[in-house]
Amino acid sequence: MGSNVNPGNPTVCISVHPFGDVNNRPLNRLRDAGMHLIMNPLDRRLTESELTKFLGDANVLVAGTEPITEQVISNAPQLGLIARVGIGLDNVDLTAARNRGITVTFTPDAPAPAVSELTCGMMLSLLRGIAKADKAVRLGGWQRILGKRLGDLTVGVIGVGRVGRRVIEHLQGFGSHILANDLAPDQDLGTKFDINWTSKEQINEEADIVTLHVPLTQTTRHMIGQVELATMKTDALLVNTSRGPVVDESCLVTALRENQIGGAALDVFEQEPYSGELTTFDNCLLTCHMGSMSRDCRTKMENESVEEVLRYARGESPNQPVPSDYL
């Protein structure tokens, strides 16, 4: 637990947006506990400078993907807990938090069902031209699109953690052939779902769809770049619902422009909100980092983060602290 503790009645800044829109129970739990709540006043993702000003002397930060940098942390002298609503931690300077004795928690299991379903939905939309057909009909067109069936293809899953394994489970229902790569392959899972564990290189070369489900680390940053895209099939599809910088977007733009691959679907970007050149490609499906945004998963994420705040106020150990060896 962080050294800057105000048990019983902490000031709680909620920078994540939205929060409490689907279900007001998370907010009511904090209010019922007598906590002083400060809500994000801008109703959007805060910048570093905005978050620094917003935090002030708060004891707790309930956070989304806004940049919780060393500067933000050093300017929050009373901060004792960062409760991350979600799984990704690349936006949190964990070293700075640990050096200050600040506890960092997250909700790693809650978003997985929603992210995995969106991933499969993006695959289907690209394969069957769903978004393209919708746009055409609205403009008065009526040209049926001949697509591909998911169950007739080989899908390469890079990263088989909470989300990746759910994607594999969904794909089994379609009858897809699965190639997979993970730092610690689960052989029992492989046997259950007839997974072919293999290298990332083989996945890039052989898969009809490459889908990414890895955390953002120094190792995974730009995991997909010029070399990887050049080795993919010319009709291959790339799907990224993990973290934006896992894909080198400038290389992806080149690959799409030169027809090196068949298309891409991205829910995450190197800079968000996104407004770059990928918006000009009809074979590139783009969504606004909404992987976790299903009503049930969002409510679960918020309730789990609130539980961490309540435990902190009672002087109890957190349920889901970020592991001390997390990179």
Active site residues: 243, 272, 289
- List the one residue out of 113, 114, 11 whose CA is nearest residue 56: 11
Cα separation, 194 vs 213, whole angstroms: 19
Do the Cβ atoms of 247 and 267 come closer than 8 Å?
Answer: no
Helix/strand/coil for 8: coil
Structure tokens at 240: 């990224």
Cα separation, 171 vs 176, whole angstroms: 6
Beta-sheet strands, E only, within the chain: 11-14, 36-39, 60-63, 81-84, 103-105, 154-158, 177-181, 196-197, 209-212, 237-240, 263-266, 284-286
Structure tokens at 141: 């067109």
Q: Does residue 215 have a cis bond before it (omega within 30 degrees)?
A: no
Amino acid sitting at position 234: T
Do the Cβ atoms of 253 and 238 come closer than 8 Å?
Answer: no
> What's the distance, CA 146 to chain centroid?
31
Cα separation, 195 vs 186, whole angstroms: 10
DSSP letter for 280, please. Answer: G
